[in-house]
């Protein structure tokens, strides 16, 4: 080959290699659940003979596709798209779509595997899936997002449907994108129907879907505190993030009498020593760009650049920002500051080292697959409304959400109490409770 051919080939191969990951993320996810459930499996001859966990770890199928679209400059762009249909034992495949440049198949496989367990805990007829693309929507124009959405759905549409697979949003995919994707699916299927959840209200979305994860987190927290003879009233709560989950959790925590002392972004922390007022929450929800870093004095709020919320001595910690946001040092800061409860609003916000540190320190700590299941639970309620051609009131959705979160809590706490002889181990409890429901379904349906 000529030098030029070699150089060009190298660039192309390096490009492909950079987007090809090994299976580590998926194996980690399987390992962390295996530790909690394999003893349950071995204790039941039927579960053991059916090799339930190994079966659940393998996706039913993976759909992988190319998404080719044109940017505003007219250049051809090529992305990778996937849908991991992990398990439909309990209901249609269900889980979000993520558009983020770091998206790889092993990451989606690990999230789909987790989603199966989360969805099982809701008690609703929901299987588990996850999907997305290595597309970065940041900085893209509305026209580019629309063209990408159309090209993405042209590939995905034949594989989804209200009884088959019902995607929702996740990172980079919100209400607007779900509106575009829904329209594209309807054009493909020549049908109206709830093939996606998290849709805009006017095309069949549910009231409170946007609030669901944050509200659900606080309902779960309320049940967790009640189980320890405690309540939210007057507690100092450190929240991280300032997105959908964090802001709605903050509002509900405040409505239940908690003092929300922080919210955060990558750049730092908004600290409200006496707790956020409604006015301060409204202001932060609306503030854009650098104005967000200079709160008006009357709000009782300061912005502290480069800081995290975990050394503010909260009694309750609610990580609602992103994966791995709490490391071992943050965990130690929480312990030293007297934190007693933690519940995850984000998916997998604790590093393994942070998890180990917290477990040893007696902090009661709930995993996201239980405490942030409110989002997917209201997706389940959206599917129910679509199937019945109905729109429920916000009050009805909220009441159902509260019931579901309390039922998840009770299921997980009961399993977690028998796993730990005393204070419930919510992490073990969540994995075991979900496993039992899934294993039963494997057996009842015939192990193959």
Burial class (CB in 10 A: 0-12, 13-18, 19+), 394: exposed
Nearest residue to 135 via CA among 196, 187, 66: 66
Q: Is 385 in the site for ligand GLU (CB under 6 A)?
A: no
Q: What are phi and psi of 99, to 5 degrees?
A: -110, 105
Q: In the block, which residue shows the tokens 């191969």? A: 13
- Going by their DSSP bridges, the two strands 268-271 and 259-265 should be labelled as antiparallel
Structure tokens at 175: 């209400």
Smallest distance from the beta carbon of 170 to ligand GLU, in angstroms? 4
Structure tokens at 368: 């996201």
One character per residue 321-360, x = contact with ligand GLU (rule: CB under 6 A): --------------------------x-------------
Structure tokens at 27: 């194996």
Smallest distance from the beta carbon of 96 to ligand GLU, in angstroms? 3
From the list 130, 199, 355, 428, the catalytic residue is 130
* Nearby residues of 228 by Cβ (< 8 Å), 6 or more positions away: 341, 364, 423
State which residue, 87 or 347, has the beta carbon closest to ligand GLU.
347
One character per residue 182-201, x = contact with ligand GLU (rule: CB under 6 A): ---------------x----
* Nearby residues of 193 by Cβ (< 8 Å), 6 or more positions away: 161, 162, 186, 386
Contacts with ligand GLU by CB under 6 A: the residue count is: 10
Q: Is 429 in the site for ligand GLU (CB under 6 A)?
A: no
Structure tokens at 78: 């090529």
Interface with ligand GLU by CB under 6 A: which range of 27-35, 77-85, 93-101, 140-148?
93-101
Q: Is 199 a catalytic residue?
A: no
Interface with ligand GLU by CB under 6 A: which range of 91-99, 144-152, 294-302, 435-443?
91-99
State which residue, 262 or 431, has the beta carbon closest to ligand GLU.
431
| Dist. CA 79–CA 329, nearest whole Å | 37
- Going by their DSSP bridges, the two strands 61-70 and 76-87 should be labelled as antiparallel
Interface with ligand GLU by CB under 6 A: which range of 13-21, 92-100, 141-149, 276-284?
92-100
Binding-site member from 375, 416, 424, 429 for ligand GLU (CB under 6 A): 375
| Dist. CA 184–CA 64, nearest whole Å | 19
Q: Element (H or E) spanning 263, and its range?
A: strand 259-265
Smallest distance from the beta carbon of 145 to ligand GLU, in angstroms? 19
Helix residue spans in 287-421 (DSSP H): 328-336, 352-360, 368-371, 374-387, 394-420
State which residue, 41 or 177, has the beta carbon closest to ligand GLU.
177
Binding-site member from 96, 194, 205, 345 for ligand GLU (CB under 6 A): 96
49 Rama sector, left if φ>0, alpha if ψ -120 to 50, beta otherwise = alpha
State which residue, 245 or 358, has the beta carbon closest to ligand GLU.
245
Q: Is 155 in the site for ligand GLU (CB under 6 A)?
A: no
Q: Is 204 in the site for ligand GLU (CB under 6 A)?
A: no
Smallest distance from the beta carbon of 171 to ligand GLU, in angstroms? 8
Binding-site member from 168, 318, 401, 433 for ligand GLU (CB under 6 A): 168
Smallest distance from the beta carbon of 196 to ligand GLU, in angstroms? 9
Q: Which of residues 29-88 bind ligand GLU (CB under 6 A)?
A: none
| Dist. CA 37–CA 435, nearest whole Å | 7
Q: Is 100 in the site for ligand GLU (CB under 6 A)?
A: no
Q: Is 132 in the site for ligand GLU (CB under 6 A)?
A: no
Smallest distance from the beta carbon of 39 to ligand GLU, in angstroms? 27
Counting every residue, how long is the chain? 448
**How far lies 191's CA from each of 4, 121, 157, 184, 268, in Å?**
52, 31, 12, 11, 47
Q: Is 376 in the site for ligand GLU (CB under 6 A)?
A: yes
Q: State the Cα torsion 277-282-288-289 to the nearest 10°.
A: 0
Smallest distance from the beta carbon of 294 to ligand GLU, in angstroms? 33
State which residue, 197 or 262, has the beta carbon closest to ligand GLU.
197
Nearest residue to 308 via CA among 348, 352, 350, 271: 271
Burial class (CB in 10 A: 0-12, 13-18, 19+), 98: buried
Q: Element (H or E) spanning 259, and its range?
A: strand 259-265
Smallest distance from the beta carbon of 140 to ligand GLU, in angstroms? 21
Smallest distance from the beta carbon of 246 to ligand GLU, in angstroms? 15
- Going by their DSSP bridges, the two strands 93-99 and 128-133 should be labelled as parallel
Binding-site member from 144, 170, 211, 425 for ligand GLU (CB under 6 A): 170
Q: Is 95 in the site for ligand GLU (CB under 6 A)?
A: yes
Q: Is 379 in the site for ligand GLU (CB under 6 A)?
A: yes
Catalytic residue positions, numbered: 130
Binding interface with ligand GLU (CB under 6 A)? 94-96, 168, 170, 197, 347, 375-376, 379
């Amino acid at each position: 080959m000529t030098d030029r051919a070699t150089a060009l080939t190298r660039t192309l191969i390096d490009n492909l290699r950079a987007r090809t990951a090994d299976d580590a993320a998926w194996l980690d996810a399987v390992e962390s659940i295996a530790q909690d459930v394999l003893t349950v499996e071995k204790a039941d001859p039927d579960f053991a003979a059916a090799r339930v966990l190994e079966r659940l770890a393998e996706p039913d199928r993976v759909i992988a596709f190319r998404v080719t679209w044109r940017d505003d400059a007219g250049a051809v762009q090529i992305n990778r798209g996937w849908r991991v249909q992990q398990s439909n034992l309990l209901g249609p495949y269900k889980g979000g779509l993520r558009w983020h440049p770091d998206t790889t198949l092993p990451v989606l496989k690990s999230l789909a595997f987790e989603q199966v367990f989360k969805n099982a805990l809701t008690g609703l007829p929901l299987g588990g899936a996850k999907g997305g693309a290595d597309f970065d929507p940041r900085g893209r124009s509305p026209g580019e997002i629309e063209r990408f959405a159309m090209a993405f759905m042209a590939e995905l549409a034949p594989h989804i449907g209200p009884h088959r697979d019902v995607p929702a949003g996740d990172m980079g995919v919100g209400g607007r994108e779900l509106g575009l994707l829904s329209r594209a699916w309807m054009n493909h299927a020549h049908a109206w129907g709830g093939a996606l959840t998290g849709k805009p209200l006017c095309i069949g979305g549910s009231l409170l879907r946007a609030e669901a994860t944050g509200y659900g987190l606080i309902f779960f927290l309320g049940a967790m505190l009640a189980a320890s003879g405690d309540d939210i009233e007057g507690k100092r709560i450190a929240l991280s993030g300032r997105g959908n989950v964090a802001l709605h959790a903050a509002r509900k925590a405040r409505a239940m009498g908690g003092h929300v002392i922080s919210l955060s972004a990558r750049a730092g922390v908004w600290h409200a020593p006496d707790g956020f007022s409604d006015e301060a929450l409204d202001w932060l929800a609306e503030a854009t760009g650098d104005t967000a870093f200079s709160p008006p004095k009357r709000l009782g709020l300061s912005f502290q650049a480069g800081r995290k919320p975990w050394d503010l001595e909260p009694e309750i910690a609610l990580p609602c920002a992103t994966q791995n946001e709490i490391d071992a040092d943050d965990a130690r800061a929480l312990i030293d500051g007297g934190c007693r409860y933690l519940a995850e609003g984000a998916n997998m916000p604790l590093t393994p080292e942070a998890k180990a540190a917290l477990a040893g320190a007696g902090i009661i700590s709930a995993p996201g697959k239980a405490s942030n299941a409110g989002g997917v639970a209201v997706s389940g309620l959206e599917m129910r409304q679509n199937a019945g051609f109905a729109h429920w009131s916000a009050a009805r959705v909220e009441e159902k959400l509260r019931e579901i979160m309390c039922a998840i809590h009770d299921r997980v706490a009961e399993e977690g109490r028998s796993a730990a002889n005393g204070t419930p181990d919510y992490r073990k409890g969540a994995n075991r409770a979900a496993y039992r429901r899934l294993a039963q379904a494997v057996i009842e349906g015939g192990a193959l």
